[in-house]
Structure 1
Amino acid sequence: MDRTLKQVFFLLLFVHVLHASDSITYQSPVDHQIRLTGNFMEIRNNHFHSGIDIKSSAGRSGDLIRSVHNGYVSRIKIQSGSYGNAIYIDHPVTGHTSLYAHLDSYSEEIAQYVKYLQYKFQRFEIDIYLPPGKFMVAQGDVIGTMGNSGRSFGPHLHFELRDTRTEEPINPELLGLGPTDSRAPVIQSLHVYHLGDELEMISDDIRYFNQNKPGFQLYKDEVIAQSRYIAFGLQMFDLMDGSSNKNGIHGYKVFENDSLIFSWQAERFSFDENRFLNAFIDYSKRKIYGQKIYLLYRQSCNPFSHYRDFGSGIIEVKKDRRQDIRIEVFDLFGNNSDVHFTLRKAEDELVPDQNPALCDTLTELKAGIFNVSFSKNTFFSPQQIYARSIKDVIENQECMTLELGSSSVPVSTYYKISIGNYQELDAKMWTMVSKDDKGRLIHFGLEKENGKFVSYIDQLGKFSLFKDIVPPDIEPLSMSLSQSSAWRFRIKDNLIPDGKVDDLEFKAEAGGQWLLMKYDKKNDMLIFNDFEKLPQKPFEFRLVVTDHCGNSDEYIRMIK
């Protein structure tokens, strides 16, 4: 469509904005059949999946990506990780914003504008909000091509629909953007949680299904409750047509004696509540065993607002009352899987080892030079958290170390560790470090606040004061003087940024002029192919990479 005609069309359109969702007709963002590798609100690490992941047509980048409806480009964002190359389109007629992420390229007009901004701000990563008249699009217009940029491990399109006003992601499949599904969800195991009087976890056990019987029938259809209160979880997944991927569940309902007591459905959520995923699932089993177990109850300090208002899912077990439990798991197309059993109270109840701290109060802990401050509702359920100061050796350094609770206990938000008098803390190169599940050093930074050094951390475990004196490493992989192929450099650091810590900073220049280097974070790769920006030979090429603690490495080469 001619650009002038487009602008006239959309200016008229904006005057008559409609918000009737029942009249919305979205076009597929791809030309081929939609097959999913990930669906809406499925379980990811520390967050819900906020969209759907659409497979490429042939397992490679390059499929055309189209706007699903009329609108305008409202935001362009480029990241080295996360969504990579992303574009946001507002659709005033529907009240939604569509997001297209991990793109390989933008349409020519948008790509030229992006490069202009990158050189203007001398940054590879950009995040720009645009006015309505800048880039108008019609339904079906090509806006880019499918790719593998950012934190993506295979060519696909991460597609989202968001409520433009609230920015909450909504399920695109509810509006017709998704595959068909003719198969019922698969339930793998039933998990039973025995809870104390403060609704803290006392113990849990697992029930499996009899493979020789149809459906999902337990070997024994009676569950013995060993505490006054009991709740349940299910390890489960869904399968969709055209794909073998194990996707997330669309919804579930819990009934006690045919009365609905708890329910959830994947319709929408708020990004502010993303970390509440760790109370939506059995975090401990996810952390230790990698299992995806949906908790079918609300923990006492879990503020997640998108459960249905039928109750908490926690059942008080009575000796003199029959309690029949039915759990229904369903998908968008009416395919259901059910679990039935009866509750019976044990003669002897389990007794907690110790009284846990309530999760809705402020908590302060001290161990050696470390002071820990947990704000109200840092934990999702009552916990008994210990703190102990020890010394540990990390990369030949003797480090003051804080052992804090168990890494299998989730936290809902950042808490603060403050450092008392420690005479060596006078340089930027100090940080707090821990080890991830692969044994790699991750760090959370250290900053001065009201005269004290503090670190903000979003997990429990073992944390050490560490002096980082190791600069990043620059490894030139290819630098063809004929400019026939892209220049590539691998950049690595001894510490992996986590929490609120910034990533590696880098700057490349040719003859003193700034150059655009693309950063592929997942492969630790800097890439340059903007050869028309190079000055005439001879010139000096200079690349500097700096870590969060101020350590730098430099690569210099004369180009003749």
Structure 2
Amino acid sequence: MPRIFIAFFGLCSLGLWGQGGILVQPIAGEMDFAGTFGELRSHHFHSGVDVRTQGQTGWPVRAVQDGYLSRMVVRPDGFGWALYLRHPDGHTSVYAHLDDFQPAWHDLALARAAASRSTRLDLYFEPHAYPVRAGDTIAWSGNSGGSAGPHLHFEWRDTGTEEPLDPFDYGMLYGDDSYAPRIVALHTADGQKAPVTAGGWTTPLRVQSWQDLSAEIKDKKYPQGLNLGIEALEVHWSWGEQEASHGFHLDRFSFDDTRCADGLMQPQVHRRTGLRTYRLAPSLGALPIWSAPEKSVTMPGRYTLTVTARAVNGDLAIARGPVDLLPGNGHPWADPEVANKVDIQSGERVAEDLRMTWSRGSFTDPLVPELVKTGERSWKASPDVPVLRALRYEWTPPSDYPTAWRSKTVLIGRDGRGSYRIVGEPLTDGRIRFNMKLYGTLTLVQDTEAPTFTTLKAATFQGRPAWYIGLRDNLLDITQYGAEIDGTWTWSYYDAKNKRLYIPKGTQTSGAMKLFAQDEAGNRTTFEGTFP
């Protein structure tokens, strides 16, 4: 898409320093969304709104309020190219996965990179050094970093706490909606499913705890759109002449608590079906904050449940049906003092040469942790419960373990929500330590293989002539990379998603090029060649 530079200097931007909220939409025109605030993602709540750009990059991105540039980030993963604007009403707007910054800020980024000889940038600026007006084009949308496709990730944060807030509560426009939210089905941890038709289900579900029950909810802007999250949920119980209810409304959260999403998302249902369903009772995580039911709902028996979900635009979805609460003999959630059980406060388990330790508040669910050795360098931790805090694993290598491998030992962990690879930290007593927010199958390997370069080719990057060269690692992330032309440091950018290292051509037409790359384990490789 051709780039258009827009600046608003008309009446719409006059006097905005005295006003608050999102006064100009970050993308012009009717917006479509690929994700909304608080949406359930694996290992996190979605912290903003994903604005779709029709599969294209290069859409003008606008400042939503007067303010100034407070932070600039350039990295191959995460938010990729991102800008942070601070506003006088106490909020910060964030624009991520960008293709490029506006020209002056693009030059600023490259100048700071050259001064520090760094290809990763995380820059903070003095207040008002780089002011903007509402509606100014500050960047162009892209697909950089950990983005799964072209879009703008937009956030609205409390500047004082850095907590993300729901942008739709502060002036972001949802626009037209032609798809009513609906509760598709109720699911249980042990595999029961009650499809919802005509607003209800008739066959009773049988559970031993309300945490075992979850709702599959769909909401879109239009029938062909992508599924979006909800902002609030209420559960109402009625039995005999009695009734009670509880619920939550997620409109802000701390990044420290974002992994609580794994507890709100019923973990057994997700492991079995891949669905991100909403639990109908709180986990042990701090978020979301549920209201307390007016009466106890722990007595076994038949209840009529009414589940109400509220979409981002305020539309409601309601489903009603019977649920039998069974005696919870032996069930993890049956103990009313479950949050104080010794096994989930803190502790350790040892399986021969691997020790696992955890601190209080590490898990979303009650459990008695188990760790068993399943192979020469593999283990299994069970039961499958999401992790909120990093667990510590310490491995004692055999006496003949090569010294050169100690800093290149990798723990690979997998659970029902994903996988991690962590390079260990050698300790002075001979053990190797790994801190990992995962509890599942564990395997130790050694990575002594350096990243590899492929053929250098002509390309364009950010609309400018460039070279690119394929760059990938066999196991780990590439954490350092760089380029020199005729012995002079040159700006380069690694597109980790597509495994390409880009080097802008600049004004040079020939010369000697030297590239290097290093992975998380310190394995390093170089490439030398000439161009054109």
Q: What residue in structure 2 maps to residue 81 of structure 1?
A: 77
Q: Could you say if the C-alpha distance between residues 345 and 467 of structure 1 is closer, same or farther in structure 2, counting changes exceeding 3 Å?
A: closer
Q: Could you say if the C-alpha distance between residues 323 and 405 of structure 1 is closer, same or farther in structure 2, counting changes exceeding 3 Å?
A: closer
The residue identity in structure 2 corresponding to 1:492 is: R
Q: Could you say if the C-alpha distance between residues 115 and 25 of structure 1 is closer, same or farther in structure 2, counting changes exceeding 3 Å?
A: closer
Q: What residue in structure 2 maps to residue 27 of structure 1?
A: 24
Q: Contact between 1:231 and 1:314, CA under 8 Å: does it hold in 2?
A: no
Deviation at 1:343, TM superposition (A): 4.3
Q: Contact between 2:343 and 2:368, CA under 8 Å: does it hold in 1?
A: no
Equivalent residue for 1:61, pick from 47, 50, 57: 57
Equivalent residue for 1:99, pick from 94, 99, 103: 94
Equivalent residue for 2:262, pick from 260, 278, 282: 278
Q: Deviations along 1:412-465, whole A, 9 cap, x unmatched?
A: 111111123532252354313326689x99631111345332111111223233
Equivalent residue for 2:393, pick from 417, 429, 437: 417
Deviation at 1:88, TM superposition (A): 0.6
The residue identity in structure 1 corresponding to 2:236 is: F
The residue identity in structure 1 corresponding to 2:490 is: L
Deviation at 1:231, TM superposition (A): 5.4
Larger CA deviation: 368-377 vs 465-474: 465-474
Q: What residue in structure 2 maps to residue 44 of structure 1?
A: 41
CA distance in 1, matches of 2:139, 2:350: 53
The residue identity in structure 2 corresponding to 1:444 is: I
Q: Could you say if the C-alpha distance between residues 230 and 52 of structure 1 is closer, same or farther in structure 2, counting changes exceeding 3 Å?
A: closer
- Secondary structure, counterpart of 1:120 in structure 2: helix
Deviation at 1:330, TM superposition (A): 1.6
The TM-score, its normalising length taken from structure 2, stands at 0.86
Q: What residue in structure 2 maps to residue 496 of structure 1?
A: 476
Q: Does 1:245 align with 2:226?
A: yes
1:211-360 correspondence to structure 2 within 5 Å: 214=198, 216-220=199-203, 222-225=204-207, 227=208, 232-241=213-222, 244-257=225-238, 259-299=243-283, 301-304=284-287, 306-311=288-293, 315-319=297-301, 323-344=303-324, 351-352=330-331, 358-360=342-344
Q: Could you say if the C-alpha distance between residues 75 and 352 of structure 1 is closer, same or farther in structure 2, counting changes exceeding 3 Å?
A: closer
Q: Contact between 1:183 and 1:335, CA under 8 Å: does it hold in 2?
A: no
- Secondary structure, counterpart of 2:57 in structure 1: coil
Q: Deviations along 1:392-420, whole A, 9 cap, x unmatched?
A: 5xxxxxxx2232225x4211111111123
Equivalent residue for 1:553, pick from 515, 525, 528: 525
Q: Contact between 2:200 and 2:320, CA under 8 Å: does it hold in 1?
A: yes
Q: What residue in structure 2 maps to residue 396 of structure 1?
A: none
Q: Contact between 1:253 and 1:260, CA under 8 Å: does it hold in 2?
A: no
Equivalent residue for 1:403, pick from 380, 383, 391: 380
Q: Could you say if the C-alpha distance between residues 517 and 242 of structure 1 is closer, same or farther in structure 2, counting changes exceeding 3 Å?
A: farther
Deviation at 1:261, TM superposition (A): 2.9
Deviation at 1:25, TM superposition (A): 5.2
Deviation at 1:293, TM superposition (A): 0.6
Q: Does 1:135 align with 2:130?
A: yes
Q: Deviations along 1:255-294, whole A, 9 cap, x unmatched?
A: 1238553212231111111111111111233244310111
The TM-score, its normalising length taken from structure 1, stands at 0.82
Q: What residue in structure 1 maps to residue 4 of structure 2?
A: none
Equivalent residue for 1:154, pick from 149, 154, 159: 149
Deviation at 1:86, TM superposition (A): 0.6
Q: Contact between 2:282 and 2:290, CA under 8 Å: does it hold in 1?
A: no
1:189-200 correspondence to structure 2 within 5 Å: 189-192=185-188
Equivalent residue for 2:445, pick from 435, 457, 466: 466
Q: Contact between 1:171 and 1:267, CA under 8 Å: does it hold in 2?
A: yes
- Secondary structure, counterpart of 1:28 in structure 2: coil
- Report % sequence identity: 24
Q: Does 1:125 align with 2:120?
A: yes
Equivalent residue for 2:368, pick from 377, 380, 384: 384
CA distance in 2, matches of 1:490, 1:139: 40
Q: What residue in structure 2 maps to residue 205 of structure 1?
A: 192
Q: Could you say if the C-alpha distance between residues 144 and 314 of structure 1 is closer, same or farther in structure 2, counting changes exceeding 3 Å?
A: farther
- Secondary structure, counterpart of 1:247 in structure 2: coil
Q: Deviations along 1:474-519, whole A, 9 cap, x unmatched?
A: 1124159xxx94211111111134xxxxx33212112221111111
Q: Deviations along 1:302-336, whole A, 9 cap, x unmatched?
A: 222x42433499831245xx743211112244422
| Gap regions ≥5 residues in structure 2 | 1-6
- Secondary structure, counterpart of 1:116 in structure 2: helix
CA distance in 2, matches of 1:182, 1:266: 24
- Secondary structure, counterpart of 2:282 in structure 1: coil
CA distance in 1, matches of 2:211, 2:155: 37
Q: Deviations along 1:358-403, whole A, 9 cap, x unmatched?
A: 55321211111111111112112221322222435xxxxxxx2232
Q: Contact between 2:157 and 2:163, CA under 8 Å: does it hold in 1?
A: yes
Q: Does 1:448 align with 2:426?
A: yes
Q: Could you say if the C-alpha distance between residues 101 and 25 of structure 1 is closer, same or farther in structure 2, counting changes exceeding 3 Å?
A: closer
Q: Does 1:171 align with 2:157?
A: no
CA distance in 1, matches of 2:247, 2:519: 46
Deviation at 1:43, TM superposition (A): 1.5
Q: What residue in structure 1 maps to residue 506 of structure 2?
A: 531
Q: Contact between 2:95 and 2:153, CA under 8 Å: does it hold in 1?
A: yes
Q: Could you say if the C-alpha distance between residues 365 and 62 of structure 1 is closer, same or farther in structure 2, counting changes exceeding 3 Å?
A: same
Q: Contact between 1:432 and 1:446, CA under 8 Å: does it hold in 2?
A: yes
- Secondary structure, counterpart of 2:525 in structure 1: strand
The residue identity in structure 2 corresponding to 1:377 is: G
Q: Contact between 2:414 and 2:442, CA under 8 Å: does it hold in 1?
A: no
- Secondary structure, counterpart of 1:327 in structure 2: strand
Q: Deviations along 1:127-185, whole A, 9 cap, x unmatched?
A: 11111121101111110111111112322111110011111111111223132335431
CA distance in 2, matches of 1:468, 1:224: 48
Q: Contact between 1:30 and 1:66, CA under 8 Å: does it hold in 2?
A: yes
CA distance in 1, matches of 2:314, 2:264: 23
Q: Contact between 2:211 and 2:282, CA under 8 Å: does it hold in 1?
A: no
Q: Could you say if the C-alpha distance between residues 351 and 167 of structure 1 is closer, same or farther in structure 2, counting changes exceeding 3 Å?
A: closer
- Secondary structure, counterpart of 2:423 in structure 1: coil
| Cα RMSD after superposing both structures | 3.2
- Secondary structure, counterpart of 1:103 in structure 2: strand
CA distance in 1, matches of 2:162, 2:65: 18
Q: What residue in structure 2 maps to residue 199 of structure 1?
A: none
